[in-house]
Chain A
Amino acid sequence: ETGVTQSPTHLIKTRGQQVTLRCSSQSGHNTVSWYQQALGQGPQFIFQYYREEENGRGNFPPRFSGLQFPNYSSELNVNALELDDSALYLCASSLSRRRDEQYFGPGTRLTVT
């Protein structure tokens, strides 16, 4: 059974640029959630995708958007990058939207300069 994978591992971007982060969910999981984790803090929920539709969103601006594909893999897109977007971005997959635990990928470290 393959776990959750994310790419790339690290990324350096300039303020104003756009970035796409990718996530492959664990086999059999149809729900993917994205989180932003700043250093020394807990993860902040960005949004959740279930069967290719966004069905929950945290307090993030519209320049944070996502996609889920038929194979349940997912992308997180961030437009007009700001310095404060520098963080670890985590992807997690689960069997259901609410009751089940999430399995996390190793994360993508994004640095915006």
Chain B
Amino acid sequence: AQSVAQPEDQVNVAEGNPLTVKCTYSVSGNPYLFWYVQYPNRGLQFLLKYITGDNLVKGSYGFEAEFNKSQTSFHLKKPSALVSDSALYFCAVRGMDSNYQLIWGAGTKLIIKP
């Protein structure tokens, strides 16, 4: 069965420090991986995706993520956190062999403290 795990319900980071939000997945075949962000009272917004190619992908707002096939992980990173990065982050995966279903993690609340 396909699944996505975001092991941390909440991540706290001081402004200016690097941040990492973790995601691991299980899917049949090669994965398509996505990160989305949800701000309070706003819809889900796409951040970045991995389809194929370079394992390090860059996305919106200075975020990047590294695909690690052996560890089946796709962690979200940013070198220097901003208070405005505080939001709910979701990892999602779709398998090449799936019925187009996008499987979502439970979300990680990111809190950046000034």
CB distance from A54 to the nearest CB of B (A): 10
Residues of A within 8 A of B45 (CB): 104
Q: Is B71 an interface residue (CB 8 A)?
A: no
* Contact in complex: A41, B43 (CB < 8 Å): no
**How far does the Cβ of B62 sit from chain A's closest Cβ, in whole Å?**
18
B102 interface residue (CB < 8 Å to A): yes
A-side interface residues, number (CB < 8 Å): 25
Q: Please give me the residue from chain A that is nearest to B107 by CB atom.
A: A42
Q: Which of A41, A43, A97 contacts B44 (CB 8 A)?
A: A43
Given A90-B44, A99-B51, A106-B43 in contact, is the A42-B100 Cβ separation under 8 Å?
A: no
Any B CB within 8 A of the CB of A57: yes
Contact of A42 among B51, B90, B96 (CB under 8 A): B90
A16 to chain B, nearest CB (A): 29
For A45, give its contact among B36, B42, B51, B101 (CB under 8 Å).
B101
Q: How many A-B residue pairs have CB under 8 A?
A: 55
B43 in contact with A105 (CB, 8 Å): yes
B101-A101 in contact (CB<8A): no
Q: How far is the CB of B65 from chain A (nearest CB, A)?
A: 13
By the criterion CB–CB under 8 Å, are B99 and A57 in contact?
yes
Q: Is B74 interfacial (CB 8 A cutoff)?
A: no
Q: Are B107 and A41 in contact (CB under 8 A)?
A: yes
Contact with B along A37-73 (1 / 0, CB 8 A): 0001111110010100001111000000000000000
Indicate if the CB atoms of A55 and B100 lie closer than 8 Å.
yes
| Chain A residues at the B interface, C-beta cutoff of 8 Å | 33, 40-45, 48, 50, 55-58, 90, 92, 97-99, 101-107
- Taking Cβ atoms with an 8 Å cutoff, the residues of B that contact A are 4, 32, 34, 36, 42-46, 49, 51, 90, 92, 94, 96, 98-107
